[in-house]
Amino acid sequence: MLRWIRQQLGFDPPHQSDTRTVYVANRFPQHGHYVPQRFADNRIISSKYTVWNFVPKNLFEQFRRIANFYFLIIFLVQLMIDTPTSPITSGLPLFFVITVTAIKQGYEDWLRHKADNEVNGAPVFVVRSGSLVQTRSKNIRVGDIVRVAKDETFPADLALLSSDRADGTCHITTASLDGETNLKTHYSVAETSVCQSVSQLEALQAVVECQQPEADLYRFVGRITVTQHGEEIVRPLGPENLLLRGARLKNTKEIYGVAVYTGMESKMALNYKCKSQKRSAVEKSMNTFLIIYLVILLFEAVLSTILKYAWQAEEKWNEPFYNQKTEQERNSSPILKFISDFLAFLVLYNFIIPISLYVTVEMQKFLGSFFIGWDLDLYHEESDQKAQVNTSDLNEELGQVEYVFTDKTGTLTENEMQFRECSINGTKYREVNGKLVPEGMTDDSPDGSTPRLIGEELLFLQAVSLCHTVQISYDQPDCLVGGGDPFSHANGFSSNHMEYYASSPDEKALVEATKRIGVAFTGSNGDVMEIKAFGKAEKYKLLHVLEFDADRRRMSVILQTPSGGKVLFTKGAESAILPFTTSGEIEKTRLHVDEFALKGLRTLVVACRHFSPEEYIDVDRRLNAARTALQQREERLQEAFSYIERDLQLLGATGVEDKLQDKVQETIEALRLAGIKVWVLTGDKHETAVSVSLSCGHFHRTMNILELLQQRSDNECAEQLRRLARRIKEDHVIQHGLVVDGASLSLALREHEKLFMEVCKNCSAVLCCRMAPLQKAKVVRLLKTSPEKPITLAIGDGANDVSMIQEAHVGIGIMGKEGRQAVRNSDYAIARFKFLSKLLLVHGHFYYIRIATLVQYFFYKNVCFITPQFLYQFFCLFSQQTLYDSVYLTLYNICFTSLPILVYSLFEQLVHPHILQNKPGLYRDISKNSLLSFRTFLYWTLLGFCHAFIFFFGSYILMGEDTTLMGNGQILRANRQLMFGNWTFGTLVFTVMVITVTLKLALETQFWTWMNHFVTWGSIAFYFIFSLFYGGIIWPFLHTQDMYFVFVQLLSSGSAWFAIIIIVITCLFPDVVKKVFYRHLQPTSTQKSQSLSAPQAQTLSCMESLCCYQHGQSGCSRLAHLLEQMTGQCKASANNCHASSNRSWSDTENFYSNDRSILTLSPIEASHC
């Protein structure tokens, strides 16, 4: 029990060794020294809490938030010392915020528990005691032999022992793990593949030794030792032998596998990693403002305490006749008394820190994120995919982006490859009607028959059709099951019943091209691959596959030809193949590769090597030794691969076209007009990348292209950077574009970061080619941490973009053809690059202005709330008497003023979505966190103080000395408070405050919906109804009845109503005047767009329906139209809502077409709402 507790606390990890030993079917050694290793059970736990730890763990997490912890301290202070306000005033709002958050998090965790129980309770079949036993998934132990049937998912990470196929292979899909839908082939070792029955498996004596669990899905190092007739046979195990939990069995009736990693140690569970928490610029500003307000609070509390003691220096105020001190109070320590008074003032003013700000911001972000998923403009019909939000914490960051880092393949392009050209033995060919035609010749074959290719041409096509990892699927998926001939479908094959599946679109395009030309890959059966070369079947034995990796950038196969010879075919990037070639038309092929790249084609180079029998024996020995090594297997394999892939004979090169996505050029141009710089980071060679950059508008034809390529030393790189910097200064009029490759980038980042960044920032567009995934992330980090701290966005579609996506402030995944790793690790996911413009220019703009106003309005209304409390102390000898009743203190932020700002922050639109998208320059108005600058914050804070002074002194001047203007004209009895006593005065101030702060938000609102009207006027009405109800009844559970009949008496006074109206107008009228003058004298681009006058363009007047442009004069009255021009608003009127198809824009305004949106219910050309 103690060991278990230590393991749970992390003090006693269950594994101590670097490897684990798994005894198949749990046949442990019989000798007495053996101590079994302890492994995790097969339960998956994705929940955070249990019944026992929910309350303490959740409270601990919530009180790590500085605002919650602060209010907890205030609440405890109120409990411990005699404070002017009830502990309920702090305790109830705190309890409300904590409870709402706990319920939300508890419900989400309950859903996780429910999902876990479904997975852990799923039925599985396990071989135990010589029979097949059904049990629950959670009961699988490491070493158990598990049977999985067709179309079932693997319940744990299994080492494949056997399948119903004679060769012991099976096909799986890993769509739920990495999004790749292609069939992958996995293998069992020959010694276990014959064990296809339960009795044979029960008799199997085998031990699996492998590495301890790690998260990498594509890495597994192990070996299996099978004991047969007293002899131990050792075989290597790699990723191709491991069936991962969550993958699905396809095209195979059943398999048996031994559980190697279970439960939370399976690779799928280890990939449930928590992504590093990204914080938005608004959140950072919010925390800064909180600290400033905390300083204001401490200043007010210290000042009040000092003034209290200064006042009490006079004897008559220190101990007046009506408030004699007790003996204990006279003898108490002055220091303790000072601290007690300071804490009491701290409690009195503590509401200047808005406790409900956090919960309101969370609700705004969570509810607001649904708009992205609902937007029909971000929905892609062809793939039936809508935009998705993986984290709502960064919504407003979409409105602050300054740099976009984008991948090329699959992000700017379609990732749909089409074979275009090839170079064979120094001659260029192109495909015409299914035939290879040399350059300069036409397809003049009279009978349309395919010419027979011989020699190098045939060898090249054979290499392309055999050097790959393509799988074939047939209409009848069981055709390969059992003992049927896997090649039987090759006769008379057609695309109708044979389809290629590949993890790489390039491979699929090349294999389909060779099939059209006449050399068709027709399938593989175990280690035999068959091709049909112009109708003649040829079988090759697959001896070894040298898998592709990002460092080598090539993949190879070693085959035994039908004649018995051994040959290596390899293909990869030209920089990974050409240096290792010794024969063939190397220079001509290099020129052809460059030509292909200039046309924007993706290039691959193909080569081969023939082995003598002695060479092959050496190669086979090296590969087997490397693959069976348990230590440093990757390094040994790399050494073996380097030894094998040399002395190559160059066969040729291929050129494959990847089409640009729709509207990429318009999107990049819109981002540029919005002040966003676009960097393209790609792994392609620089000619291909430059060609695509020019075609997609990233580089302009008039742009001066600067190059930092093939730098070999630090000094050379630094000199080139200085030359580029000088050229930029000399030609400062022209726009510059920079091209840099991966090798030069490494040198530039090593010693010359500042110089490199200076060059980059002065370029309009930057293209980085030949980039490794970690280099992409390093570039993003470099810019992110530069002195200006710009907001960065990374967008990509493949696993190689994940590090870049996680590094950037905002990461966006494209739902493309390269798997779902990018989408799973992103903050937002969209189906096409063109959707990025609307995501940033419209949604980003809306989210930012909404939350910026929300944060500042919260601080404003709390300054208005607590400053009269501070001013009141000057009139009550700093006796810590509260101005407001405890119930009003508690409900101000929770009920009276919370809903209008929440609705505003969900629906506000300063400008119509069409205009935002069609005038990208408006994005610049909100860049660099301009709406949350210190100047704006200071304005809202000073406005709050001004309004608070007007509330307090306005009420005091208008009503302070007046006790005769009661509704009934009477003075109240002495045993009751005077009409204008403490609570009446406080209630008047509070009433004026609630009305003013609500109407202030109404003035800020540009876009009115029925919900805005409901919560704005409803909040004011609710306050009046509540106050009448609260003060009109004697509540038996309240120990004091201070407010009884106060509100009714107040409203019965005509002078009170007069004071309310005068004070509200006094507060808000200067604000209206300021808005009008600023709008007419110094309008921003946004304000100009709000009120486009009729002669310039038809004004958007139907803001409620968001769907149409009005032509000509508004239907509003002349007075209403004047107000509309002054404030930039328009009263919604469905009757006047007609669209115009001839909407005019000035020549300087850029226009981009829009699709359709839930925000813009019809296109611009609509005829009617």
Question: Which residues form the catalytic set?
Answer: 407
Cα–Cα distances (Å) from 44 to 141, 245, 1072, in that order, read 13, 11, 60
828 within 8 A of 387, measured Cβ to Cβ: yes
Q: How many other C-beta atoms lie within 10 A of the C-beta of residue 562?
A: 11
Strands of 833-940 (E only): list them. Answer: none
- DSSP annotation of 136 reads E
Distance (Å, whole) CA 123 – CA 542: 38
Distance (Å, whole) CA 935 – CA 940: 9
Quote the tokens at residue 197: 């029955």
Distance (Å, whole) CA 1128 – CA 1124: 5
Distance (Å, whole) CA 949 – CA 536: 96
Distance (Å, whole) CA 516 – CA 298: 80
Distance (Å, whole) CA 721 – CA 742: 15
| Residue of 556, 567, 559 lying closest to 524 (CA atoms) | 559
How many residues can be counted in the chain? 1169
Phi, psi of 89 (to 5 degrees): -60, -35
Distance (Å, whole) CA 564 – CA 1024: 96
Distance (Å, whole) CA 97 – CA 357: 10
CA triplet 446, 511, 472: central angle to 5 degrees?
Answer: 120
Amino acid found at 172: I
- 């053809």: which residue's tokens? 817
Distance (Å, whole) CA 960 – CA 981: 9
- 């937002």: which residue's tokens? 828
Distance (Å, whole) CA 842 – CA 1106: 13
Phi, psi of 16 (to 5 degrees): -110, -30
Cα–Cα distances (Å) from 144 to 118, 128, 170, 1080, in that order, read 21, 8, 20, 79
Quote the tokens at residue 537: 């079947």
Distance (Å, whole) CA 309 – CA 879: 11
Distance (Å, whole) CA 54 – CA 109: 10
Distance (Å, whole) CA 471 – CA 473: 7
Q: Angle 66-80/281-311 helices, nearest 10 degrees? A: 20
Quote the tokens at residue 975: 């045993």
779 within 8 A of 679, measured Cβ to Cβ: yes
Q: Angle 742-751/773-784 helices, nearest 10 degrees? A: 40
Q: Angle 281-311/934-959 helices, nearest 10 degrees? A: 40
Distance (Å, whole) CA 123 – CA 563: 50
Quote the tokens at residue 739: 């091209």
Distance (Å, whole) CA 340 – CA 1118: 62
SS3 793: strand
Phi, psi of 150 (to 5 degrees): -55, 140
523 within 8 A of 530, measured Cβ to Cβ: yes
Q: Angle 982-1004/1054-1081 helices, nearest 10 degrees? A: 30
Q: What order do you get walking across the sheet with 403-406 strand by strand? A: 388-389, 828-830, 810-814, 792-796, 403-406, 677-681, 765-769, 736-741, 704-708
